Amino acid sequence: MKELLKKVLKPVLKPAFSIFENILPAKLHVMMIHYRAHGCLPNLKSPKTFSEKIAYRKLHDRNLAMVPLVDKILVKEQIAARFGKEIIIPTLKVIDDVDGFDMQSIPPPYVIKVNHSCHMNIFVKDKNFNEKEIKSRLKRYLAFDHSAVLEEWAYSLIERKAFVEEYVKFGDDDLTEYKFHVFGGKTFALQVLVDRDTVPRIQMYDKDFNIMDVCYVAYPKHLRAVAKPDNFSEMKRIAEDIGKDFSYVRIDLYNVKGKIKFSEATFYPGGGTERFNPPDYDRIFGDQWTV
């Protein structure tokens, strides 16, 4: 009976709870998000851990320079101007009107994204697509308020738009992603994400590309070492140059066959909900961050 009630009530209560949570005052909402993820309330007066400092940033960091870096359209212009357009995955079209978007005008394959959130990508790989279903999904994505769900302030100032991005495939190689944790313009560590199209796995490395015995984020740990890229120094230089104006930012880059491509900049990784294993690293990472 208990399981039956859970099965029946969960679809009803979960959306209701989400609505209630999103109308809470920002401070209470941030505290609830942290408590649900870490089992304790954050110290917002004197944050010590990495997770607490993400929570603190949500409430107090109003650096306008963050906004164009989290806007997935504007960031390309900024990064191309600084490092050259070859580092950017080309935008084929900005969609101002979803209903009026002529999907047939762009030969597939391509990817449709929104500029104000993440994990909302539509892959159009051939001409056999359902235009009505895709546009319906896209409207739902554009209606989603990313800034309210996790109280990530920088996203609240983005003018929401959809855009079409070139579908990039680097031969038969796996698309490896390098996530640089940059504190005050200096790399402390990076995560290397592999097998993202099958079973994503991740491993943490220090600034010199030595494996660190720590796991962070939900992906399983990658058990074998990844070879250090020949152009690792250039990747780190780019990440640190972007991060020099911020107390902390995570810069994500792709590197396949020696080609560096910008992925994204993240000021609130995981919304502050991810855990370190071992837990001591939450404080170790926090010690690198001066708020």
Cα→Cα distances 207→48, 212, 239, 262, 281, Å: 22, 10, 12, 19, 15
Cβ atoms < 10 Å from Cβ of 219:
18
Residue-level length of the chain: 291
pLDDT at 15: 52
Cα→Cα distances 291→76, 205, 267, Å: 27, 24, 13
**Structure confidence by residue, pLDDT tens digits, 211-223:** 999 999 777 777 6
pTM comes to: 0.89
For range 99-121, the mean pLDDT: 94
- Same fold yes or no, 69-166 and 172-266: no
| CB burial readout 254-284, b (16+ within 10 A) else e | bbbeeebbbeebbbbbbbbbbbbeeeebbeb
**Structure confidence by residue, pLDDT tens digits, 182-214:** 999 999 999 999 876 677 889 999 999 999 999
**Structure confidence by residue, pLDDT tens digits, 33-67:** 999 999 999 999 999 999 999 999 999 999 999 99
- pLDDT band at residue 3 under the 50/70/90 scheme: low
Tokens of 248: 């902390």
Boundaries of every domain in the chain: 2-60, 69-166, 172-266
Query: What fold characterizes domain 69-166?
Result: Dna Ligase; domain 1 (3.30.1490)
Contacts of residue 57, Cβ cutoff 8 Å, sequence gap at least 6: 248, 267, 268, 291
CATH class name, domain 172-266 = alpha beta
Tokens of 38: 């870490």
**Structure confidence by residue, pLDDT tens digits, 128-180:** 999 999 999 999 999 999 999 999 999 999 999 999 999 876 555 567 899 99
**Structure confidence by residue, pLDDT tens digits, 263-276:** 999 999 999 999 99
